[in-house]
Amino acid sequence: MTDTTSNQMWGGRFSAGPDAIMEAINASIGFDKRLAAQDIAGSRAHAAMLAAQDIVTDSDARAILEGLEQVLAEINDGSFTFSTRLEDIHMNIEARLKDMIGEPAGRLHTARSRNDQVATDFKLWVRDQFDAFESGLIALIKALLAQALAGFDWVMPGFTHLQTAQPVTWGHHLMAYVEMLGRDLSRVRDARKRMNECPLGAAALAGTSFPIDRHMTAAALGFDQPAANSLDAVSDRDFALDFLSCASICAMHLSRFAEELVIWSSAQFRFVRMSDRWSTGSSIMPQKRNPDAAELVRAKIGRIFGANVALMTIMKGLPLAYSKDMQEDKEQVFDAADNLMLALAAMVGMVGDMTADRTALHGAANSGFATATDLADWLVRALGLPFREAHHVTGALVAMAEGQGCDLQDLTLEQMQTAHGEITAAVFDVLGVEQSVASRTSYGGTAPAQVLVQIRRWEAILK
């Protein structure tokens, strides 16, 4: 293709070309070439609208549309040559189109600017990422549901402060992450709906005097409507910030779960075994199974958080409308999207392949005085003690068991009665971990029947 190095396409105003440093700082083709398909889609919609409004002839529109198809084919097959001297994806495509079809290519830019063009391209790209984001979330939710259903009644310790608190079920624990990801799914869908307004036709910042039909181009590109204010249309990057915000919150959830997988798969816990597909060995310690995939998911989250902060910082001081600072928006979003999709895919694989150890889970639930709260509740219900007194009695019994190196259910009735003389043998009915989880029947509780209710609810939601 022709490289117009002597006279920039926006030239006429400037007689000398930029020096190498200016060219390097000004060019964005190195990263915005990822917008090629969206740029061509926007140009096709614009050309069709120009012809429909008699702004360009039908023959010119046909030449433009056919030429754009050829350009896209070259980009897809790798034969297209990208030039930094042409600055960005828009100029690169327009220059190649001119090589192919000549004068009609110059009519394509009628009634638009690179400002509304790039805003449209970027919105189309981010919208595609929202769709991929949604698919990834649904896949992970389904993987969690399958694991939760398989172990809906398996008892494990629940933690606060990473200390044993009360027994819960494996299914209940995994369903907590389903709820988190469900909120992520809601945010993604809400943000996608909010962003679906088309900037095309806002031109540089003030609209255009040509009799364009913005509703036609918006509909052709799958937008709900045109953006209502031309200044806002070209300067808005809220849609990208929405994406990064949704990505950051989801990434935080993924990191929390990745952290648990790292802990659970350790020799000290042995709650889960990660498959060989998601583990690595040590170069010198043959016994090691390192949860590297989970650790990398946990680490990549920092890049997503960083992208969110970076774009917020770029946008925070910009007056209306467009400023060149906004060229720095795309690399942040591209990198965040790449790492988010990779983290989601890895987590889907890890959850699908991991094997929970029911025996280890149950053994851990039986340690750490996990049923102490059940004992206190029994003292309130059976003996009518105020909860604060019941808490005190239970604390004394925990101290006694700890001193003897046993758990609460291993104490004798006589030993228990030294803490409160009215305790009866019925207390032992509540000290088993199975009885504990079965008793938590409040809506959203850990009782297996309640866990099944939530699993079925989510299965219905996803249908």
Task: State the catalytic residues.
Answer: 161, 282
* Phi and psi at residue 285, to the nearest 5°: -115, 95
In three-state form (DSSP H/G/I as H, E/B as E, the rest C), the secondary structure along 11-77 is CCCCCCCCCHHHHHHHCCHHHHHHHHHHHHHHHHHHHHHHHHCCCCCHHHHHHHHHHHHHHHHHHHH
Maximum Cα–Cα distance for the chain, whole Å? 100
- CA–CA dist 207, 191 (Å, integer): 26
* Phi and psi at residue 220, to the nearest 5°: -65, -30
Place of tokens 């079809």: 101
Place of tokens 């509304």: 116
Whether 121 and 38 have beta carbons less than 8 Å apart is answered as: yes
End-to-end CA gap in the chain: 50
Whether 68 and 97 have beta carbons less than 8 Å apart is answered as: yes
- CA–CA dist 234, 197 (Å, integer): 12
How is residue 269 annotated by DSSP?
Answer: T
Dihedral over Cα of 41, 45, 51, 54: its sign:
negative
